[in-house]
Amino acid sequence: MREAHPRERTVGIQWYVSDADGVGGRLRERPDAFRVRELEAFDTEPVESGAGDYPYLVLRATLTGWDTNDFASRLSDAMGISRERVDWAGTKDKHAVTTQLFSVYDADPGDLPEIRDVEIEVVGRAGRHLSYGDLAGNAFEIVVREPENPENADEITGQLRAFAGDAEGDRIGVPNVFGHQRFGSRRPVTHQVGLAIVRREWRDAVLAYVGNAFETEPDDTRDARQFVDEQAASDDPDWGACLDRMPRKLGYERSMLHRLQERGAGDADGEPENWRHALEAVPSNLQRLFVNAAQSYAFNRILSERLGRELPFHEPVAGDVCCFTDNDVDAVRKPDTDRLQRATAERVDVLTRHCERGRAFVTAPLIGTETEFAEGEPGEIEREVFDDLGLEPGMFDLPGNFESTGTRRAILVDTAMTVEHDPLTFTFALPSGSYATAVLREYLKSDPMEL
């Protein structure tokens, strides 16, 4: 195996599966070179249906250069409604052309605004809002610009087919890691915030997000965060001065600072509830994302350790917990983590055959209050990682939006891959929750900030 890029190691990713040199090149130089289209799994009624029974207006928006959260905020502002009335099934990156569904509570087609670089199509109405489970997956068409060694793509594809246990087929496989953007592409801190939340270190959580400057940030942002750290270390922090220095583009940081100023949160001996109140200034989905990022970091660590021990990903070993495949989705093999079975010594051969036939996946935990560990060597890996991070399932019994029951997640993501060489273009589909960068990192082997 090949050691991962240093930036990836900061988010728990230690290895590449493929040993071949990368193709190099750059992604996202233009949004239209990175296209993402949702594979929809949400039923709607005609738009003429009564708003009483179907109060949610469902939209299909094609966004060019828009982050999903930013678009939702812009849409709600333009409509003069609360941001909490806008929901979606999957968050997308801004450096792309993305097509995805949104639901808006108590809205009519005539209420929709025109927004720059956005095309909106009214799909219909629904009796409930969109949520994460309503997304089957995503289809990608990604162009690599100016690759140094495009000929390496075929060798990498062969190695990834072997990793998937499909050396003679057309499917590749990679570890189902959470990509760098899960933690913040330019400034990977969301898992640090989340780990502090789980430990109920509310002050540390706020300062990890508002302070904690990174060299990769613009000068004005870095200077403002450094000033926050200086004030936090003083006996009488001036949060108003911090707010004045924080660039207006950093709206969430400013919201937290505003609450600190209102409550008069002081030094490390101040009331924990004041710090938690500041943290809750951000939208509910971002509050959940902080804890999710902590879970994701631990998950990446588990996968890295499994790779380091050279345990297989495409089939179980004794002690693993497997899930079955959701057969209702045609375009992707979507794991159904509500259907779990342990690979006991008596069942491991049967579950291996299910995995070989595309009917099951090996899983690892996204730790939460209901987490049950695997047995054998997989369980040993899980416990070692969580012990190292000081995490236990009961710690996720948290207030408000921070609570998480946890789940399990497939450790392998596989897909039919098409590679065109002129220009170098990758076409594939992934189930919801899996990252295109988990695939592309194996091909480019570059700084994750370039993915």
Contact criterion met (CB below 8 Å) for 410 and 365: no
Residues of the chain with CATH 1.10.1510.30: 190-282
Contact criterion met (CB below 8 Å) for 174 and 163: yes
Q: Mind telling me the catalytic residues?
A: 93
What are the C-alpha distances in Å from 209 to residues 195, 205, 256, 287? 12, 7, 9, 12
Asked if residue 268 has pLDDT above 70, the reply is: no
SS3 labels along the chain: CEECCHHHHCCCCCEECCCCCCCCCECCCCHHHEEEEEEECCCCECCCCCCCCCCEEEEEEEEECCCHHHHHHHHHHHHCCCHHHEEECCCCCCCCEEEEEEEEECCCHHHCCCCCCEEEEEEEEECCCCCHHHEEEEEEEEECECCCCCCHHHHHHHHHHHHCCCCCCCEEEEECCCCHHHCCCCCCCHHHHHHHHHCCCHHHHHHHHHCCCCCCCCHHHHHHHHHHHHHHCCCCCCHHHHHHHCCCCCHHHHHHHHHHHHHCCCCCCCCHHHHHHHHCCCCHHHHHHHHHHHHHHHHHHHHHHHHHCCCCCCCCCCCCEEEEEECCCCCCCEEEEEEEEECCCCCHHHHHHHHHCCCEEEEEEECCCCCCCCCHHHHHHHHHHHHHHCCCHHHHCCCHHHCCCCEEEECEEEEECEEEECCEEEEEEEECCCCHHHHHHHHHCCCHHHC
Asked if residue 97 has pLDDT above 60, the reply is: yes
Contact criterion met (CB below 8 Å) for 81 and 155: no
The structure's pTM equals 0.89
Residues contacting 407, CB < 8 A, separation 6+: 337, 365, 366, 368
Asked if residue 331 has pLDDT above 80, the reply is: no
Looking at residue 436, its pLDDT comes to 93
pLDDT, average across residues 336-342: 95
Least Cα distance to 7 among 225, 211, 189, 223 occurs for 189
Least Cα distance to 138 among 428, 386, 350, 341 occurs for 428
Query: In this structure, which topology does domain 190-282 adopt according to CATH?
Result: Hypothetical Protein Yqey; Chain: A; domain1 (1.10.1510)
CA 132 to chain centre: 12
**CA–CA gap between residue 414 and residue 311 (Å, rounded):** 17
pLDDT, average across residues 247-261: 96
Model pLDDT for residues 148-178, shown as the tens digit of each residue? 999 999 999 999 999 999 877 889 999 999 9
> Which amino acid, 408?
R
Model pLDDT for residues 33-78, shown as the tens digit of each residue? 999 999 998 999 999 998 999 999 999 999 999 999 899 999 999 9
**CA–CA gap between residue 136 and residue 153 (Å, rounded):** 28
Looking at residue 304, its pLDDT comes to 98
User: What are 104's two structure tokens?
Assistant: 């808006």
Query: In this structure, which topology does domain 33-137 adopt according to CATH?
Result: Alpha-Beta Plaits (3.30.70)
Q: How far apart are the first and last CA of the chain?
A: 21
pLDDT band per the 50, 70, 90 thresholds, residue 93: confident
pLDDT band per the 50, 70, 90 thresholds, residue 269: low
**CA–CA gap between residue 421 and residue 440 (Å, rounded):** 15
Contact criterion met (CB below 8 Å) for 298 and 12: yes
pLDDT, average across residues 216-242: 95
Beta-bridge mates of residue 362: 322
Map tokens 């993305």 to a residue.
98
Residues of the chain with CATH 3.30.2350.20: 291-410
Least Cα distance to 16 among 418, 364, 440 occurs for 440
CA 400 to chain centre: 21
Model pLDDT for residues 120-136, shown as the tens digit of each residue? 999 999 999 999 879 88
- pLDDT mean across residues, the chain: 94
Looking at residue 185, its pLDDT comes to 79
Which CATH superfamily hosts domain 291-410? TruD, catalytic domain (3.30.2350.20)
Counted residue by residue, the chain has a size of 451
Residues of the chain with CATH 3.30.70.3160: 33-137
Looking at residue 327, its pLDDT comes to 67
Asked if residue 337 has pLDDT above 60, the reply is: yes
Least Cα distance to 72 among 291, 197, 251, 220 occurs for 251
> Which amino acid, 279?
L
Mode of pairing for the β-strands spanning 97-105 and 34-40: parallel
**CA–CA gap between residue 25 and residue 208 (Å, rounded):** 33
User: What are 131's two structure tokens?
Assistant: 């949520």
